[in-house]
Copies of this chain bind each other. A is one copy, B any other.
Amino acid sequence: MAKIAFIGAGSLGFTRGLVRDLLTFPTMRDATIALMDIDRERLDFANRAVQTIVDRGGYPAKVVPTLDRKAALKGADFAVCTILAGGVQVWRHDIEIPKQYGVDINIGDTRGVAGIFRALRTIPVMVSICKDMERLCPDALLLNYTNPMAMLCRAMQRASRIQLTGLCHSVQGTAGMLAKWLGAPMSEITYVCAGINHQSWYIQYRRNGKDVIPELRRKVATDKKIYREELVRNEMFLNLGYYVTESSGHNSEYNWWFRKRPDLIRKYCPDHKGAGWNPGEYAYIVKHYLAREKSWKKETKEWFAKGAPIKLERGHEYAAAIMHAVLSGEAFEFNGNVPNTGIVTNLPPDVCVEVPVVANRRGLNAIHVGALPPQCAALNNVNIASEEMAVEAALSGDPDLVFQSVAIDPLTAAVLSLGEIRKMVGQMLRKNRTHLPQFKSVEL
């Protein structure tokens, strides 16, 4: 009888989706589902939604809501993490302060100056969850969904011996989009995708065993509709030769080429008809959160009032499949964020890479990939260098390293001088002062 702890269970949409999926597996229909959040109201909503699913499905599962993280983790087989350390009023500054300096950010949850500050605030919390797990459920598997994925996973992998991986939908999502463009059912597609979170490369993409990357290049180069669906990523593909994960907006943040000048943003990141979900608008998610701040409660109540409309069929939350693989031994492959134990040979050792992983009863098994194409590795490596300094800064509380980490972030480096970066980072450190207990001083 498995126990699954949801830390940050108040992420209602995610929690109810994953619970729905995991209950469909015979290994978990009788699971204990511990829901934990620090927000009583959100926790209550989550509890009601999850209990509704259990009742409706007639599952023998048990739902246990709690405000006590330790109680949730105790004896767990799996922990799922979807926390947010600091609300939108805290992290809006990650995007708004850089904007004052001319650094125009779209999402800001992954890397770059905004992602780095999010990491500085979140890493201490993540490490404390791991430390709890070492005592309360040392053999449990931690599945993390909180961003910035690569830096958080790396920090935990450095600071704890808990087995963990970070999960992100963008690998499957992009693979599916490419298949759609090719008019191919996914069942005919195989691929190798490797790199770092939100910047992984499809270094192999085959249809019925045949390399279709050349065909994809022709499509993207000649089909205007397809080209315009992902302006940034398609430009990257045509120029670098390999397709990258995550939306165009996200990718416009992780290099020097698309957001450093207003004319380039207008050209490559317009919210035009036919664009994908995130072409690259300034502060896209901050705006969304600020809007939702007022409406979410009402919407949630309405959802319950409508009878909590959720189907019980299995959806796409592959965390459920991972758990089932561990419990049943039925191998399940996915792309996860794990330490680079020689998996990708031209990225540094030990850093957090996103690579094929097989889950089975032994847990997580990373699959050897080899070398990335040099132009792809080069881009990953710049971001890794920045993130490694940020993680070290977050663990050690060194403000100079925060600055140096930001100084080589591609977007920041393409816009500002060292002096300007120092000033911007100084302002952000001071603004975040109360959220950075691990720093003795935030003076640069």
A340-360, CB < 8 A from B = 341-343, 345-346, 348, 356, 358, 360
Q: Does A227 interact with chain B (Cβ within 8 Å)?
A: no
- A256 contacts across to B, CB distance below 8 A: 256, 413-414
- A366 contacts across to B, CB distance below 8 A: 367-368
- A343 contacts across to B, CB distance below 8 A: 342, 368
Number of interface residues of A (CB under 8 A): 67
Q: Does A374 interact with chain B (Cβ within 8 Å)?
A: yes
State in angstroms the CA–CA spacing of A260 and B257 once bound together.
13
Q: Please, could you name 9 A-B residue pairs with CB atoms under 8 Å apart, sorted by A?
A: A255-B413, A256-B413, A257-B407, A346-B348, A358-B367, A365-B368, A366-B367, A367-B367, A375-B401
State in angstroms the CA–CA spacing of A375 and B404 once bound together.
6
Inter-subunit contact A408/B422 (CB<8 Å): no
Inter-subunit contact B389/A385 (CB<8 Å): no
- A408 contacts across to B, CB distance below 8 A: 375, 378-379, 382
Q: A139-B209, A378-B386, A378-B408 are in contact. Are A414 and B414 (CB under 8 A)?
A: yes
State in angstroms the CA–CA spacing of A362 and B204 once bound together.
9
State in angstroms the CA–CA spacing of A419 and B221 once bound together.
13
- Residue positions of A touching B, CB distance < 8 A: 139, 187, 190, 192, 204, 206, 209, 235-236, 239-241, 255-258, 260, 264, 267-268, 329, 331-333, 341-343, 345-346, 348, 356, 358, 360-362, 365-368, 370, 374-375, 377-379, 381-382, 385-386, 388-389, 392, 400-401, 403-404, 407-408, 410, 413-414, 416-419, 421-422
Q: How many copies does the complex hold?
A: 4
Inter-subunit contact A333/B346 (CB<8 Å): no
Inter-subunit contact A331/B329 (CB<8 Å): no
Inter-subunit contact A378/B382 (CB<8 Å): yes
Inter-subunit contact A190/B404 (CB<8 Å): no
CB-based closest 3 A-B pairs: A342-B342, A378-B385, A256-B413
- A419 contacts across to B, CB distance below 8 A: 235, 239
- A370 contacts across to B, CB distance below 8 A: 341
A248 to chain B minimum Cβ distance, whole angstroms, is 13
A235 to chain B minimum Cβ distance, whole angstroms, is 6
State in angstroms the CA–CA spacing of A385 and B382 once bound together.
10
A271 to chain B minimum Cβ distance, whole angstroms, is 19
State in angstroms the CA–CA spacing of A247 and B20 once bound together.
49
User: 16 other contacts beyond A255-B413, A341-B342, A365-B367, with CB at 8 A cut-off?
Assistant: A187-B329, A190-B362, A235-B419, A256-B256, A256-B413, A257-B417, A258-B417, A267-B417, A331-B332, A333-B358, A342-B342, A346-B348, A366-B368, A375-B389, A378-B385, A378-B389
